[in-house]
Amino acid sequence: MLHGNPLALAGFPIGPPEMWFTPHVIRLSEAAVDPETTQQVLSNTGFVTPRSVGHTEVRQGFSPGHIDKGRVTKPVGNTLTSLERFGMWMVEISYKPGAMDPVGLGVTREIADLGIKDVEWVKSRKIYMISGDFTGSDIEEVSRRLLCDSMVQEYRVAWVSSVENLLDVGVGDLQTGCWVVETRYRPGVNDPEAVSTQQGIEVLIPGKTVSVQTGMVYLIAGEIGEEEIVKICEKILVNPLIQIYRYKAYNPVSGVKTKYVETINLLDADLAELEEISRARMLALSLDEMGRRKEYYQKLGRNPTDIELEAIAQTWSEHCMDKTVKAIIKTPDSVVDSILKTYIMGATKKLGKPWCLSVFEDDAGLVEFDDELAIAFKVETHNHPTALDPYGGAGTGSGGVFRDILGVGAKPILSTDILFFGPPDYPHEKLPPGVMHPKRVMKSAVAGIRDYGNRMGIPTANGAIGFDERYVGTPLVFAGSLGIIPKDRYVREPNPGDIIVLVGGKTGKDGIHGVTFASKTLDKESEQTARGAVQIGSPIEEKKFADALIQARDRGDKPLYTAVKDCGGGGLSSAIGEMAHKIGAEVDLDKVPLKETGMTPWMIWVSESQERMVLAVPAENLGKVLEIFRGENSDATPIGRFRDDGKLVLRYKGEVVGELSTEFLHRGLPRAVKKARWEKKSFSKPVVEEKEDYTEDLLKILGSPNVASKEWVIRQYDHEVQARTVVKPLQGVFCDGPGDGCVLKPRYDSWRGVVVSNGGNPLYSDDPYRMALSAIDEAIRNNVALGGRRIALLDNFAWGNPDFEDRLGSLVEAARGCYDGAIAFGTPFISGKDSLNNEYILEDGSSIPVLPTLIVSAVGIIPDVRKAVTMDLKRGGDLVYILGVTRDEMGGSHYYKVNGYRGGEIPTVDLEEAPKSFEALTRAIDKGLVEACHDCSEGGLAVAAAEMGFAGGFGLDIELAKIPADGKLSDSTKLFSESNSRFLLEVRPENAEAFERVMAGHRVARIGQTTLEKRLVIRSNNNAVVEAELEKLRETWKKTFKW
């Protein structure tokens, strides 16, 4: 029910009562414009004057009768110029009557999901506020040709006095009985669509200087009151971190300070005061680390400036320095001198693969592709930002990892995403304070990844999504990218005298303290305290400088730059600081292009505004580099130069505001010493009632969120762009089967390809050592299933607070598993990233840690992409084989999960046999003996068989008694055990003898055949224990995420 008339000139309440505002007032000078002319101007520009215009105040409204759909009513004569100084054009885009409004329908569904059932409908309006030197015909051309899809949309135009008053101007067909909500970005927050629109206008109408802002208006009809509309706004329509839904005069800029920097009294601070300085300034440093700072400044005989404190905090953050995995860790049995050095890098060093070109040294790992090209691969985490702003957090996670690839000079050719959320049907009433609903988080995160990758023109073709209640407070986002670079174009050493060039987007207040925020746990206050830590992305901006960077790399006989670095976590502080760690640098911060006023030097230095990179450019190449970036309409600004004395000198308007030793900055951090313990959890095997028919159990697993089809997500991603994707994420006759990975063809003149896959199952985290082995085995076997070999790995740990000994103990165990797995399979780690403190603190002080989560990504080589194998069955009458041993390993299985069981053995890996059987399978694939191959993972043999069947459109008839097994197993175990290192294979009868010869000596068995009947039948000693039509299996698998 509407509280007030939406057409009332005084406006109506939107948002909490304390945030209501009075209508905007236009003051007209009677001396400048006589009443008669004013009345005429206002009438012709859509203003309503309810009282005599001879008054000096005119309250504004909007008369739909003056602005027709698709037509602009032009001002009379040139009298509009008297209003231009306080006005702008507003263009409203709406869907035509009878056309579907997908945005409105989506919001309607989300409102219902929120538990508000009385909303009848929602209609959406896209709003563009455009100011500049425009005539009515200009704005009509822009609206018609650029902003509106005339097939399904229509536009209206009005002249308004301010961006703040859209609700007072009756936008569109306002109707009684509806609420009107206007949303837009906060001031200073990057508005990517506005930037693109502005550029489009400047191309469409050359010579015009314009400014654009965008927003949305929602018309919401139904019997709902103020409390419900506020809930809808704050839970669905806006993210308060980056958007406002009603504020009139919000401005985050508090004014210009009278001095450039603040001096912090560190020298006189006692222990309590040191802790308070760290807390109050959100430095996220321990008392030992604050004490080391104090010692440094005692030697210098002065106190630090704020920018120096901030620079050290960024560099020493958990995110940038990986303090925990580099720490000395004492366990009851031993001392581990760095998890990273001992286990992850230790495995790579021991293997010593010559095709590893650069590992753990740069923004991404590099391995050899062929004689000319190298592959760059990196997977990053972006968990905390996604918890607060799912769309922006996940999107900038992708943008950041693309820049990691660009940071080694490579061109991104693939995007990957592995995501973990709370259950999509999680009850709203159980949500902790300050936590968004998992379904909203998932939808927004997927949209962020979609928009960034698609707009950058980078295919997203590999990933996974998992769900568990322990991700409700802290979702996990693993964003990855793969790129290619000529081996002789990789450079990474700046020289003294090289110019520091900042390229890409402008610097703002978004993202300040991002890395220190990521080093802390989340709670209900994070939404407020960490508001500035969230970054806002603009993929179009990144696309422009990415194209320019590749040109700068390839022009001439060597790159025009000597080093390049992503300006991500820690901003300029980390990017320039890391580039200068051996030689030093000087930076003029006032030369940094800003997108808002009121920024102090330390804000400029640590801001994590997106779409920025730093280049080291020899002076003689500076003109060429600036010309290239101008050609792509991307900013490139010299802001300093590299030195040769090991000092980092920061200036602002000619004044030195900070000076640090790079030696102290990068090597002064005190080594952390931590305690860890791990006691292996022991669970008795649950009593599971055996039955004669498991068809319903198979259907339950297929429909469970972890196993169900993610086609709703995958179809949003462009996995065809760049024309390199040979094997796509969805496979089979209907292109809807779940592939084990993807295959790319990086070169257009070669059949040699790259295979990308991943593995990980947090449900195995009760035994972190076995979980790590399982993740490695899954990532590799997914790669092998497609034809991959010569595989390199990336590790990504997402854990809880490492200050808890049990959390750290499980991390040590998982790292130990990584070492053993990598050594056994001969697969070196080339890069990785850990993300710690993934916990949500509840009001009572207890916490919800995420499931200890390890994701392993694998990149392999396939000599000929034409020999790649997919998972869908190819024809009836072929033979079905299983490779690998099924064991009584039901711990963490999806059969147990859907039936509420807990306990049993977590799957392990036979580290001697598995690598040998994988190599044999690769030989069989190379000989063309395998028609289809699918790994057995979540849901075991039964799920793998169902997926192969409905993907290919052919049935299967399988006998459980024939599968290789250790010991006597129940039917439920044979069907649903998730034992590692297993594949289900389709082989033609004429190739059976040759296949069995290649696989001799390994645990492989012929267990059935494919059929022309579209039915899956699994028997136990000739008695059917699973029997279902393929269509029923497919429909069950697909319906969960038919959103």
Residue 601 has pLDDT above 70, yes or no: yes
Residue 519 has pLDDT above 80, yes or no: no
476-486, strands of its sheet edge to edge:
356-358, 365-368, 373-381, 476-486, 411-421, 460-467
Residue 624 parent element (H or E)? helix 622-631
829-835, strands of its sheet edge to edge:
725-727, 742-744, 753-759, 853-862, 789-798, 829-835
Residue 376 parent element (H or E)? strand 373-381
Give the confidence band of 172 by pLDDT, cuts at 50, 70, 90: very low
CA end-to-end span of the chain: 28
208-250: pLDDT as tens digits: 788 899 999 888 888 787 788 888 998 899 988 888 886 432 2
Closest alpha carbon to 313 in 147, 513, 148: 513
Please give the structure tokens belonging to residue 124: 């959406």
What's the mean pLDDT in 832-851? 91
- Bridge-based pairing state of the strands 737-738 and 730-731: antiparallel
Residue 726 has pLDDT above 90, yes or no: yes
Q: Look at 39-53, 161-175, 903-917 and tell me which has the smallest mean pLDDT.
A: 39-53
Closest alpha carbon to 876 in 973, 1005, 1011: 1011
Residue 707 parent element (H or E)? none
What's the mean pLDDT in 986-995? 98
Q: Is the dihedral of CA 452, 454, 457, 461 positive or negative?
A: positive
| Range ranked top by mean pLDDT from 45-49, 150-154, 862-866 | 862-866
390-406 vs 438-456: helix axis angle to the nearest 10? 40
507 phi, psi to nearest 5 deg? -100, 130
Q: Alpha-carbon distance 346 to 341, whole Å?
A: 6
Q: Which residue has the higher pLDDT, 324 or 516?
A: 324
What's the mean pLDDT in 946-965? 98
Return left, alpha or beta for 399; rule: phi > 0 is left, psi -120 to 50 is alpha, else beta.
alpha
Which pLDDT belongs to residue 526? 62
254-266: pLDDT as tens digits: 322 336 788 899 9
Residue 1 has pLDDT above 50, yes or no: no
Which domains are assigned to the chain? 17-244 (3.30.1280.10), 338-390+410-483+757-863 (3.30.1330.10), 671-708+869-1043 (3.90.650.10)
Residue 340 has pLDDT above 50, yes or no: yes
What's the mean pLDDT in 799-808? 94
Which pLDDT belongs to residue 3? 30
Q: Look at 99-108, 680-689, 777-786, 1032-1041 and tell me which has the smallest mean pLDDT.
A: 680-689
**Burial classification of residue 239, based on how many CB atoms lie within 10 Å of its CB (0-12 exposed, 13-18 middle, 19 or more buried):** buried
What's the mean pLDDT in 405-422? 97
Residue 736 parent element (H or E)? none
Give the confidence band of 317 by pLDDT, cuts at 50, 70, 90: confident
Q: Which residue has the higher pLDDT, 52 or 680?
A: 680
Q: Is 351 helix (H, G, I), strand (E, B) or coil?
A: helix
Which pLDDT belongs to residue 65? 27
Please give the structure tokens belonging to residue 919: 């190599």
Q: Look at 67-81, 677-691, 774-788 and tell me which has the smallest mean pLDDT.
A: 67-81
Which pLDDT belongs to residue 622? 97
Which pLDDT belongs to residue 643? 96
CB 792 within 8 A of CB 858: yes
Which pLDDT belongs to residue 303? 92
Q: Alpha-carbon distance 775 to 693, whole Å?
A: 31
Give the confidence band of 44 by pLDDT, cuts at 50, 70, 90: very low
Q: Alpha-carbon distance 249 to 37, whole Å?
A: 30
CB 382 within 8 A of CB 391: no
What's the mean pLDDT in 856-876? 98
Residue 28 has pLDDT above 70, yes or no: no
Instruction: Give me the residues paired with residue 629 across strands.
Output: none
Share of the chain above pLDDT 90, in %: 68
Which pLDDT belongs to residue 258? 32
Q: What is the CB neighbour count within 10 angstroms for residue 142?
A: 26
Which pLDDT belongs to residue 936? 98
- List of residues 6+ apart from 706 with CB closer than 8 A: 466, 467, 894, 897, 938
Which residues are designated catalytic? 319, 382
Residue 60 has pLDDT above 70, yes or no: no
| Range ranked top by mean pLDDT from 164-173, 179-188, 442-451, 506-515 | 442-451
Please give the structure tokens belonging to residue 364: 């991404």
Which pLDDT belongs to residue 901? 94
Residue 1013 has pLDDT above 50, yes or no: yes
What's the mean pLDDT in 916-920? 98
Burial 1014-1037 (b: 16+ CB within 10 A, else e): bbbbbbbeeeebbebebebbbebb
Q: What is the CA radius of gyration of the chain?
A: 30
Residue 494 has pLDDT above 50, yes or no: yes
Give the confidence band of 11 by pLDDT, cuts at 50, 70, 90: very low
CB 48 within 8 A of CB 60: yes
Residue 13 has pLDDT above 60, yes or no: no
Q: Which residue has the higher pLDDT, 337 or 76?
A: 337
Which pLDDT belongs to residue 903? 93
Which pLDDT belongs to residue 899? 95
Q: Beta strands of 198-287 (E only): which ranges? A: 210-222, 243-244
Which pLDDT belongs to residue 221? 83
What does the mean pLDDT of the chain come to? 86
Q: Alpha-carbon distance 815 to 929, whole Å?
A: 37
- List of residues 6+ apart from 1019 with CB closer than 8 A: 957, 958, 959, 960, 961, 1025
